[in-house]
Structure 1
Amino acid sequence: NRRSDVLMRLENGSPFLQRFPFGSGQVLVLASPLDPQYTSFPQHALFVPVMLKMALSGSSEIDPPVVIGQGAGFSSGDTLLPGEQVYHLVRPSDGFDILPEFRQNESGGTVYVHDQVRQAGTYQLQVNKQLLRPVSFNYDRKESDLRPTEIDEVVRGLQVPADVVDSQSPDLTHAITRAQDGIQLWKYCILLALLFLAIEVALIRLIRT
Protein backbone atom coordinates (compact mmCIF):
# COMPACT_ATOMS: atom_id res chain seq x y z
CA ASN A 1 0.00 0.00 0.00
CA ARG A 2 1.49 3.32 -1.09
CA ARG A 3 -0.14 5.14 1.84
CA SER A 4 1.53 2.97 4.46
CA ASP A 5 4.93 3.25 6.11
CA VAL A 6 6.77 -0.03 6.70
CA LEU A 7 8.31 0.14 10.18
CA MET A 8 9.59 -3.45 10.42
CA ARG A 9 10.21 -6.19 7.84
CA LEU A 10 10.59 -9.95 7.99
CA GLU A 11 13.77 -11.69 6.84
CA ASN A 12 12.23 -12.28 3.41
CA GLY A 13 11.55 -8.55 3.02
CA SER A 14 7.80 -8.72 3.60
CA PRO A 15 6.28 -5.99 5.80
CA PHE A 16 5.76 -7.05 9.43
CA LEU A 17 4.74 -3.76 11.08
CA GLN A 18 3.07 -1.02 9.01
CA ARG A 19 1.61 2.37 9.83
CA PHE A 20 -1.48 3.67 8.03
CA PRO A 21 -2.87 7.21 8.32
CA PHE A 22 -6.44 7.28 9.60
CA GLY A 23 -8.22 10.61 9.96
CA SER A 24 -6.08 12.82 12.18
CA GLY A 25 -4.39 9.75 13.69
CA GLN A 26 -2.81 6.54 12.56
CA VAL A 27 -3.28 2.77 12.67
CA LEU A 28 -0.40 0.34 13.30
CA VAL A 29 -0.85 -3.14 11.81
CA LEU A 30 1.16 -6.31 12.47
CA ALA A 31 1.38 -8.99 9.79
CA SER A 32 0.50 -11.74 12.28
CA PRO A 33 -1.31 -12.21 15.59
CA LEU A 34 0.80 -12.09 18.74
CA ASP A 35 -0.13 -15.68 19.55
CA PRO A 36 3.06 -17.77 20.13
CA GLN A 37 1.95 -20.33 17.54
CA TYR A 38 2.25 -17.66 14.83
CA THR A 39 5.22 -15.54 15.93
CA SER A 40 7.96 -15.31 18.54
CA PHE A 41 7.87 -11.51 18.47
CA PRO A 42 6.41 -11.19 22.03
CA GLN A 43 9.57 -12.91 23.33
CA HIS A 44 11.90 -10.69 21.29
CA ALA A 45 13.94 -7.96 23.00
CA LEU A 46 12.34 -5.35 20.72
CA PHE A 47 8.78 -6.22 21.73
CA VAL A 48 8.47 -3.91 24.76
CA PRO A 49 10.19 -0.90 23.09
CA VAL A 50 7.99 -1.31 20.01
CA MET A 51 4.81 -1.51 22.11
CA LEU A 52 5.82 1.61 24.05
CA LYS A 53 6.60 3.45 20.82
CA MET A 54 3.24 2.44 19.39
CA ALA A 55 1.43 3.68 22.51
CA LEU A 56 3.24 7.01 22.48
CA SER A 57 3.29 7.56 18.73
CA GLY A 58 -0.11 9.25 18.73
CA SER A 59 0.75 11.78 21.43
CA SER A 60 1.76 14.35 18.79
CA GLU A 61 -1.84 14.42 17.60
CA ILE A 62 -2.86 16.05 20.88
CA ASP A 63 -2.65 19.81 20.62
CA PRO A 64 -0.52 21.48 23.30
CA PRO A 65 -2.18 24.10 25.52
CA VAL A 66 -2.93 27.40 23.80
CA VAL A 67 -0.88 30.28 25.22
CA ILE A 68 -3.08 33.24 26.11
CA GLY A 69 -2.25 36.46 24.28
CA GLN A 70 -0.12 34.97 21.48
CA GLY A 71 -2.90 34.77 18.89
CA ALA A 72 -2.28 31.09 18.17
CA GLY A 73 -5.16 28.89 17.08
CA PHE A 74 -6.07 25.28 17.69
CA SER A 75 -7.50 22.51 15.54
CA SER A 76 -11.25 22.08 15.36
CA GLY A 77 -10.84 18.38 14.63
CA ASP A 78 -12.53 16.52 11.79
CA THR A 79 -15.99 18.01 12.35
CA LEU A 80 -17.39 20.03 9.43
CA LEU A 81 -20.16 22.47 10.29
CA PRO A 82 -23.20 22.25 8.02
CA GLY A 83 -25.43 25.23 7.30
CA GLU A 84 -25.38 28.14 9.73
CA GLN A 85 -23.97 26.27 12.71
CA VAL A 86 -21.13 27.95 14.60
CA TYR A 87 -18.53 26.94 17.15
CA HIS A 88 -18.87 27.98 20.79
CA LEU A 89 -15.98 28.06 23.24
CA VAL A 90 -17.47 27.44 26.66
CA ARG A 91 -16.26 27.34 30.26
CA PRO A 92 -19.12 25.59 32.09
CA SER A 93 -17.87 26.51 35.56
CA ASP A 94 -18.89 30.17 35.21
CA GLY A 95 -21.02 30.34 32.05
CA PHE A 96 -18.28 31.80 29.84
CA ASP A 97 -19.36 31.46 26.19
CA ILE A 98 -17.85 33.09 23.09
CA LEU A 99 -18.04 32.65 19.32
CA PRO A 100 -14.45 32.18 18.14
CA GLU A 101 -13.19 32.80 14.62
CA PHE A 102 -13.00 29.71 12.38
CA ARG A 103 -10.77 29.35 9.33
CA GLN A 104 -11.02 26.40 6.96
CA ASN A 105 -7.76 25.03 5.55
CA GLU A 106 -6.41 21.94 3.80
CA SER A 107 -5.80 20.02 7.02
CA GLY A 108 -9.25 20.75 8.44
CA GLY A 109 -10.04 23.87 10.38
CA THR A 110 -8.40 26.20 12.89
CA VAL A 111 -10.16 28.10 15.67
CA TYR A 112 -8.88 31.49 16.86
CA VAL A 113 -10.04 33.22 20.04
CA HIS A 114 -7.78 36.31 19.77
CA ASP A 115 -8.04 38.28 23.06
CA GLN A 116 -11.39 36.90 24.16
CA VAL A 117 -9.85 34.33 26.54
CA ARG A 118 -7.97 35.89 29.46
CA GLN A 119 -8.22 33.22 32.15
CA ALA A 120 -6.20 30.00 32.09
CA GLY A 121 -8.06 26.72 32.37
CA THR A 122 -9.82 24.01 30.40
CA TYR A 123 -12.57 25.08 28.00
CA GLN A 124 -14.96 23.16 25.76
CA LEU A 125 -15.36 23.57 22.01
CA GLN A 126 -19.06 22.94 21.36
CA VAL A 127 -21.56 22.90 18.52
CA ASN A 128 -25.25 23.00 19.45
CA LYS A 129 -24.19 22.44 23.08
CA GLN A 130 -22.50 19.18 22.09
CA LEU A 131 -18.88 18.74 23.19
CA LEU A 132 -16.42 18.35 20.32
CA ARG A 133 -13.19 18.53 22.27
CA PRO A 134 -11.64 20.10 25.38
CA VAL A 135 -9.12 22.90 24.91
CA SER A 136 -6.57 24.02 27.52
CA PHE A 137 -5.29 27.59 27.84
CA ASN A 138 -2.17 28.59 29.78
CA TYR A 139 -0.64 31.92 30.70
CA ASP A 140 2.54 32.99 28.92
CA ARG A 141 5.52 31.96 31.04
CA LYS A 142 7.41 35.05 29.93
CA GLU A 143 4.92 37.18 31.87
CA SER A 144 5.64 35.36 35.14
CA ASP A 145 7.84 37.30 37.55
CA LEU A 146 10.04 34.69 39.21
CA ARG A 147 11.79 37.14 41.56
CA PRO A 148 11.21 36.30 45.25
CA THR A 149 9.17 38.75 47.30
CA GLU A 150 10.78 40.48 50.25
CA ILE A 151 9.53 39.48 53.72
CA ASP A 152 8.38 43.01 54.58
CA GLU A 153 6.33 43.13 51.39
CA VAL A 154 4.71 39.79 52.22
CA VAL A 155 3.70 41.04 55.68
CA ARG A 156 2.22 44.22 54.21
CA GLY A 157 0.35 42.21 51.59
CA LEU A 158 -1.27 39.95 54.19
CA GLN A 159 -3.01 42.96 55.82
CA VAL A 160 -3.56 40.90 58.97
CA PRO A 161 -1.39 40.35 62.05
CA ALA A 162 1.00 37.59 61.13
CA ASP A 163 4.47 36.27 61.82
CA VAL A 164 6.68 35.41 58.85
CA VAL A 165 9.44 32.89 59.52
CA ASP A 166 12.66 33.56 57.61
CA SER A 167 14.02 30.26 56.29
CA GLN A 168 17.52 31.77 56.26
CA SER A 169 17.43 32.53 59.97
CA PRO A 170 19.85 30.49 62.15
CA ASP A 171 17.07 30.25 64.78
CA LEU A 172 14.57 28.70 62.35
CA THR A 173 13.78 25.70 64.57
CA HIS A 174 13.28 27.91 67.62
CA ALA A 175 11.07 30.29 65.65
CA ILE A 176 8.83 27.48 64.38
CA THR A 177 8.54 25.95 67.88
CA ARG A 178 7.64 29.33 69.36
CA ALA A 179 5.03 29.91 66.64
CA GLN A 180 3.43 26.54 67.38
CA ASP A 181 3.64 26.50 71.19
CA GLY A 182 3.81 30.19 71.99
CA ILE A 183 6.17 31.67 74.59
CA GLN A 184 6.45 29.13 77.40
CA LEU A 185 6.46 30.87 80.78
CA TRP A 186 6.16 27.85 83.05
CA LYS A 187 9.90 27.72 83.63
CA TYR A 188 9.89 31.30 84.84
CA CYS A 189 6.92 30.58 87.11
CA ILE A 190 8.78 27.69 88.76
CA LEU A 191 11.87 29.84 89.27
CA LEU A 192 9.80 32.63 90.82
CA ALA A 193 8.00 30.14 93.09
CA LEU A 194 11.33 28.72 94.29
CA LEU A 195 12.65 32.25 94.82
CA PHE A 196 9.65 33.29 96.91
CA LEU A 197 9.86 30.02 98.87
CA ALA A 198 13.52 30.70 99.65
CA ILE A 199 12.66 34.25 100.75
CA GLU A 200 9.86 32.92 102.96
CA VAL A 201 12.18 30.37 104.62
CA ALA A 202 14.81 33.05 105.18
CA LEU A 203 12.25 35.40 106.78
CA ILE A 204 10.94 32.65 109.06
CA ARG A 205 14.45 31.85 110.27
CA LEU A 206 15.18 35.54 110.76
CA ILE A 207 12.03 36.03 112.85
CA ARG A 208 12.77 32.98 115.03
CA THR A 209 16.24 34.22 115.82
Structure 2
Amino acid sequence: INSLQDFLNHGGGIFIVFGKNVQPDVYSEFLNYNAEISPRTRYTAGENSGNQNYFEMREYDLNHPIFKIYSRGGPEKPEIPAIKIKSFMETTGGIVIGWLTDKRPVITQSKNNKIVLFGSGFDTDCSDIVLHSFFVPFVVRTVEFLAAKSNIGQEYYLAGRQVSLNLSAQTQALSARLIGPSCDINLPIARSAYGPFVNIAETGYPGFYTLLGDSDTLGYMAVNPDSNESSELKIPDSRLKEIFGGNYSYLDGKSDIKTAIVQAKYGMELWKYCLALALICLIIESLLVREPKTKT
Protein backbone atom coordinates (compact mmCIF):
# COMPACT_ATOMS: atom_id res chain seq x y z
CA ILE A 1 0.00 0.00 0.00
CA ASN A 2 2.86 2.39 0.79
CA SER A 3 4.32 1.74 -2.66
CA LEU A 4 0.95 2.48 -4.26
CA GLN A 5 0.74 5.70 -2.29
CA ASP A 6 4.20 6.79 -3.46
CA PHE A 7 3.36 5.89 -7.04
CA LEU A 8 0.14 7.90 -6.87
CA ASN A 9 1.89 10.88 -5.27
CA HIS A 10 4.35 11.01 -8.17
CA GLY A 11 1.58 11.29 -10.76
CA GLY A 12 0.90 7.62 -11.42
CA GLY A 13 -2.49 6.12 -12.17
CA ILE A 14 -3.86 2.99 -10.51
CA PHE A 15 -6.32 0.45 -11.91
CA ILE A 16 -7.72 -1.76 -9.13
CA VAL A 17 -9.60 -4.97 -9.95
CA PHE A 18 -11.56 -6.53 -7.09
CA GLY A 19 -11.46 -10.25 -7.80
CA LYS A 20 -12.87 -12.88 -5.45
CA ASN A 21 -9.68 -13.25 -3.42
CA VAL A 22 -9.13 -9.54 -2.81
CA GLN A 23 -9.34 -8.55 0.83
CA PRO A 24 -11.20 -5.21 0.81
CA ASP A 25 -9.99 -4.29 4.31
CA VAL A 26 -6.46 -3.99 2.95
CA TYR A 27 -7.55 -1.32 0.45
CA SER A 28 -10.29 0.40 2.45
CA GLU A 29 -8.14 3.07 4.07
CA PHE A 30 -6.18 3.72 0.87
CA LEU A 31 -9.35 4.05 -1.23
CA ASN A 32 -11.15 6.18 1.35
CA TYR A 33 -8.25 8.61 1.62
CA ASN A 34 -7.19 8.83 -2.02
CA ALA A 35 -10.37 8.12 -3.96
CA GLU A 36 -13.25 8.72 -1.54
CA ILE A 37 -14.45 5.22 -2.45
CA SER A 38 -15.57 2.78 0.24
CA PRO A 39 -15.86 -0.99 -0.38
CA ARG A 40 -19.03 -2.29 1.27
CA THR A 41 -20.41 -5.74 0.54
CA ARG A 42 -19.47 -8.51 -1.88
CA TYR A 43 -22.44 -9.94 -3.74
CA THR A 44 -22.31 -13.33 -5.44
CA ALA A 45 -25.08 -14.48 -7.75
CA GLY A 46 -27.01 -17.38 -6.27
CA GLU A 47 -25.67 -16.91 -2.74
CA ASN A 48 -26.76 -13.64 -1.16
CA SER A 49 -28.71 -12.43 -4.19
CA GLY A 50 -31.71 -14.73 -4.43
CA ASN A 51 -31.96 -17.08 -7.38
CA GLN A 52 -30.06 -14.93 -9.86
CA ASN A 53 -27.44 -16.76 -11.90
CA TYR A 54 -25.67 -13.52 -12.77
CA PHE A 55 -25.98 -9.75 -12.69
CA GLU A 56 -25.91 -7.80 -15.92
CA MET A 57 -23.80 -4.72 -16.61
CA ARG A 58 -24.87 -2.69 -19.63
CA GLU A 59 -24.97 0.95 -18.44
CA TYR A 60 -21.92 3.19 -18.92
CA ASP A 61 -21.08 6.87 -18.90
CA LEU A 62 -20.43 7.28 -22.63
CA ASN A 63 -19.10 10.81 -22.06
CA HIS A 64 -16.17 9.41 -20.10
CA PRO A 65 -12.88 9.20 -22.07
CA ILE A 66 -12.73 5.43 -21.57
CA PHE A 67 -16.14 4.80 -23.14
CA LYS A 68 -16.73 7.72 -25.49
CA ILE A 69 -15.84 5.69 -28.60
CA TYR A 70 -18.90 3.52 -27.92
CA SER A 71 -22.62 4.13 -28.37
CA ARG A 72 -25.99 2.78 -27.31
CA GLY A 73 -26.64 1.10 -30.63
CA GLY A 74 -25.86 3.97 -33.01
CA PRO A 75 -24.67 3.18 -36.55
CA GLU A 76 -21.36 5.06 -36.37
CA LYS A 77 -19.88 3.68 -33.13
CA PRO A 78 -19.61 0.16 -31.70
CA GLU A 79 -21.91 -0.93 -28.89
CA ILE A 80 -20.68 -2.37 -25.60
CA PRO A 81 -22.03 -5.91 -25.09
CA ALA A 82 -23.93 -6.90 -21.96
CA ILE A 83 -21.42 -8.18 -19.38
CA LYS A 84 -22.46 -10.98 -17.03
CA ILE A 85 -21.21 -10.37 -13.49
CA LYS A 86 -21.22 -13.36 -11.13
CA SER A 87 -19.51 -11.71 -8.18
CA PHE A 88 -18.72 -8.07 -7.39
CA MET A 89 -17.84 -5.72 -4.55
CA GLU A 90 -20.40 -2.99 -4.03
CA THR A 91 -18.86 0.41 -3.27
CA THR A 92 -19.99 3.90 -2.37
CA GLY A 93 -18.49 7.26 -3.30
CA GLY A 94 -16.38 8.33 -6.24
CA ILE A 95 -17.69 8.88 -9.76
CA VAL A 96 -19.59 5.90 -11.11
CA ILE A 97 -18.95 5.22 -14.80
CA GLY A 98 -20.32 1.66 -15.09
CA TRP A 99 -23.50 0.23 -13.53
CA LEU A 100 -25.50 -2.94 -13.26
CA THR A 101 -29.02 -2.84 -14.65
CA ASP A 102 -30.25 -2.21 -11.09
CA LYS A 103 -27.96 0.88 -10.90
CA ARG A 104 -25.45 -0.61 -8.45
CA PRO A 105 -21.91 0.60 -9.28
CA VAL A 106 -19.27 -1.71 -10.75
CA ILE A 107 -16.77 0.69 -12.34
CA THR A 108 -15.87 3.76 -10.28
CA GLN A 109 -13.36 6.56 -10.69
CA SER A 110 -11.77 8.72 -8.02
CA LYS A 111 -12.88 12.35 -7.92
CA ASN A 112 -9.42 13.71 -7.17
CA ASN A 113 -6.76 11.17 -8.19
CA LYS A 114 -6.12 8.89 -11.12
CA ILE A 115 -7.73 5.75 -9.71
CA VAL A 116 -10.23 3.49 -11.47
CA LEU A 117 -11.85 0.61 -9.60
CA PHE A 118 -13.44 -2.41 -11.29
CA GLY A 119 -15.60 -4.03 -8.62
CA SER A 120 -15.49 -7.52 -10.12
CA GLY A 121 -12.70 -9.78 -11.37
CA PHE A 122 -11.32 -10.62 -14.78
CA ASP A 123 -11.53 -14.38 -14.18
CA THR A 124 -14.58 -16.29 -15.38
CA ASP A 125 -15.61 -17.06 -11.80
CA CYS A 126 -16.35 -13.36 -11.37
CA SER A 127 -17.46 -12.19 -14.82
CA ASP A 128 -17.42 -13.04 -18.51
CA ILE A 129 -15.82 -9.75 -19.56
CA VAL A 130 -12.68 -11.53 -20.82
CA LEU A 131 -14.84 -13.48 -23.28
CA HIS A 132 -15.87 -10.33 -25.13
CA SER A 133 -13.92 -8.37 -27.72
CA PHE A 134 -14.70 -5.33 -25.56
CA PHE A 135 -12.23 -6.51 -22.88
CA VAL A 136 -8.88 -5.60 -24.49
CA PRO A 137 -9.95 -2.10 -25.67
CA PHE A 138 -11.45 -1.48 -22.22
CA VAL A 139 -8.19 -2.32 -20.44
CA VAL A 140 -6.06 -0.42 -22.96
CA ARG A 141 -8.21 2.72 -22.83
CA THR A 142 -8.33 2.59 -19.02
CA VAL A 143 -4.54 2.37 -18.80
CA GLU A 144 -4.15 5.18 -21.35
CA PHE A 145 -6.60 7.32 -19.38
CA LEU A 146 -4.68 6.74 -16.15
CA ALA A 147 -1.23 7.15 -17.68
CA ALA A 148 -1.77 10.28 -19.75
CA LYS A 149 -1.60 13.84 -18.43
CA SER A 150 -4.35 14.54 -20.93
CA ASN A 151 -5.90 12.41 -23.64
CA ILE A 152 -4.96 14.78 -26.46
CA GLY A 153 -3.01 12.78 -28.98
CA GLN A 154 -4.43 9.51 -27.70
CA GLU A 155 -7.39 9.54 -30.06
CA TYR A 156 -7.88 9.05 -33.79
CA TYR A 157 -9.49 12.26 -35.01
CA LEU A 158 -11.21 12.58 -38.38
CA ALA A 159 -11.68 15.69 -40.49
CA GLY A 160 -15.10 17.31 -40.33
CA ARG A 161 -16.09 15.73 -37.01
CA GLN A 162 -17.03 17.22 -33.66
CA VAL A 163 -14.32 16.67 -31.05
CA SER A 164 -14.18 16.97 -27.26
CA LEU A 165 -10.64 17.18 -25.86
CA ASN A 166 -10.02 16.33 -22.21
CA LEU A 167 -7.22 18.38 -20.68
CA SER A 168 -4.94 17.86 -17.72
CA ALA A 169 -6.54 18.38 -14.31
CA GLN A 170 -3.81 20.95 -13.60
CA THR A 171 -4.96 23.20 -16.45
CA GLN A 172 -5.72 26.66 -15.04
CA ALA A 173 -6.35 28.58 -18.28
CA LEU A 174 -9.87 29.80 -19.02
CA SER A 175 -9.51 29.62 -22.80
CA ALA A 176 -7.36 27.85 -25.36
CA ARG A 177 -6.07 28.68 -28.82
CA LEU A 178 -6.23 26.00 -31.51
CA ILE A 179 -3.69 26.40 -34.32
CA GLY A 180 -3.56 24.16 -37.37
CA PRO A 181 -3.99 24.07 -41.17
CA SER A 182 -6.08 27.15 -42.07
CA CYS A 183 -7.15 27.29 -38.42
CA ASP A 184 -6.44 29.79 -35.64
CA ILE A 185 -9.37 30.03 -33.22
CA ASN A 186 -9.97 30.64 -29.53
CA LEU A 187 -12.01 28.12 -27.56
CA PRO A 188 -13.45 28.38 -24.04
CA ILE A 189 -12.24 25.76 -21.55
CA ALA A 190 -15.16 24.12 -19.76
CA ARG A 191 -14.99 21.94 -16.66
CA SER A 192 -16.84 18.79 -15.64
CA ALA A 193 -16.52 16.09 -13.02
CA TYR A 194 -13.76 14.54 -15.15
CA GLY A 195 -11.73 17.74 -15.39
CA PRO A 196 -11.29 20.57 -17.91
CA PHE A 197 -12.06 20.08 -21.60
CA VAL A 198 -12.63 21.98 -24.83
CA ASN A 199 -15.22 21.31 -27.51
CA ILE A 200 -14.38 21.75 -31.19
CA ALA A 201 -17.55 22.08 -33.25
CA GLU A 202 -15.89 20.68 -36.37
CA THR A 203 -12.33 19.69 -37.17
CA GLY A 204 -10.93 21.32 -40.29
CA TYR A 205 -8.35 20.15 -42.79
CA PRO A 206 -6.24 17.06 -42.10
CA GLY A 207 -2.93 17.83 -40.42
CA PHE A 208 -1.36 18.56 -37.04
CA TYR A 209 -2.97 20.95 -34.57
CA THR A 210 -1.57 22.59 -31.44
CA LEU A 211 -3.68 23.61 -28.45
CA LEU A 212 -2.27 26.52 -26.44
CA GLY A 213 -3.45 27.81 -23.07
CA ASP A 214 -1.97 31.10 -21.85
CA SER A 215 1.75 30.51 -22.38
CA ASP A 216 1.60 26.71 -22.10
CA THR A 217 1.16 24.05 -24.75
CA LEU A 218 -1.80 21.95 -23.65
CA GLY A 219 -1.33 19.28 -26.28
CA TYR A 220 -1.18 18.26 -29.91
CA MET A 221 -3.55 16.31 -32.09
CA ALA A 222 -3.47 14.87 -35.59
CA VAL A 223 -6.56 15.09 -37.79
CA ASN A 224 -6.83 12.44 -40.49
CA PRO A 225 -9.01 12.16 -43.60
CA ASP A 226 -11.92 9.78 -43.21
CA SER A 227 -11.03 6.51 -44.96
CA ASN A 228 -14.72 5.97 -45.72
CA GLU A 229 -14.49 8.79 -48.25
CA SER A 230 -12.18 6.59 -50.34
CA SER A 231 -14.43 3.57 -50.23
CA GLU A 232 -15.49 2.25 -53.63
CA LEU A 233 -18.49 0.43 -52.23
CA LYS A 234 -21.84 1.46 -53.67
CA ILE A 235 -24.53 2.51 -51.22
CA PRO A 236 -27.54 0.25 -51.84
CA ASP A 237 -30.81 1.84 -52.98
CA SER A 238 -32.55 0.66 -49.80
CA ARG A 239 -30.09 2.65 -47.68
CA LEU A 240 -30.50 5.75 -49.88
CA LYS A 241 -34.26 5.56 -49.42
CA GLU A 242 -33.79 5.40 -45.64
CA ILE A 243 -31.58 8.50 -45.72
CA PHE A 244 -33.48 10.64 -48.24
CA GLY A 245 -36.95 9.11 -48.02
CA GLY A 246 -37.08 8.37 -51.73
CA ASN A 247 -36.69 12.06 -52.67
CA TYR A 248 -33.46 11.78 -54.65
CA SER A 249 -32.18 11.36 -58.19
CA TYR A 250 -29.74 8.63 -59.12
CA LEU A 251 -26.96 9.18 -61.68
CA ASP A 252 -25.72 6.04 -63.38
CA GLY A 253 -22.35 7.60 -64.25
CA LYS A 254 -23.05 7.58 -67.99
CA SER A 255 -25.18 10.71 -68.31
CA ASP A 256 -23.85 14.27 -68.21
CA ILE A 257 -23.81 15.44 -64.58
CA LYS A 258 -24.60 19.09 -65.39
CA THR A 259 -27.57 18.15 -67.55
CA ALA A 260 -28.85 15.69 -64.95
CA ILE A 261 -28.69 18.32 -62.19
CA VAL A 262 -30.54 20.90 -64.30
CA GLN A 263 -33.22 18.34 -65.18
CA ALA A 264 -33.60 17.34 -61.54
CA LYS A 265 -34.00 20.99 -60.53
CA TYR A 266 -36.14 22.39 -63.37
CA GLY A 267 -37.41 19.30 -65.16
CA MET A 268 -36.65 18.08 -68.67
CA GLU A 269 -35.98 20.79 -71.26
CA LEU A 270 -38.66 20.54 -73.96
CA TRP A 271 -37.78 23.55 -76.11
CA LYS A 272 -35.56 21.52 -78.43
CA TYR A 273 -38.34 19.05 -79.11
CA CYS A 274 -40.90 21.84 -79.54
CA LEU A 275 -38.64 23.64 -82.01
CA ALA A 276 -38.11 20.46 -84.01
CA LEU A 277 -41.87 19.81 -84.03
CA ALA A 278 -42.54 23.37 -85.22
CA LEU A 279 -40.06 22.97 -88.07
CA ILE A 280 -41.67 19.70 -89.11
CA CYS A 281 -45.10 21.34 -89.08
CA LEU A 282 -43.84 24.21 -91.25
CA ILE A 283 -42.40 21.78 -93.76
CA ILE A 284 -45.64 19.79 -93.89
CA GLU A 285 -47.69 22.98 -94.22
CA SER A 286 -45.51 24.25 -97.06
CA LEU A 287 -45.97 20.97 -98.89
CA LEU A 288 -49.74 21.02 -98.45
CA VAL A 289 -50.27 24.57 -99.70
CA ARG A 290 -47.90 24.25 -102.59
CA GLU A 291 -49.79 24.45 -105.94
CA PRO A 292 -49.08 21.64 -108.36
CA LYS A 293 -47.60 22.65 -111.70
CA THR A 294 -49.95 22.37 -114.72
CA LYS A 295 -48.85 20.28 -117.63
CA THR A 296 -48.89 21.80 -121.12
Quick check: TM above 0.5?
no
Computing the radius of gyration over CA atoms, which structure comes out larger, 1 or 2? 1
Q: Normalising to structure 1: TM-score of the pair?
A: 0.39
Q: Normalising to structure 2: TM-score of the pair?
A: 0.29
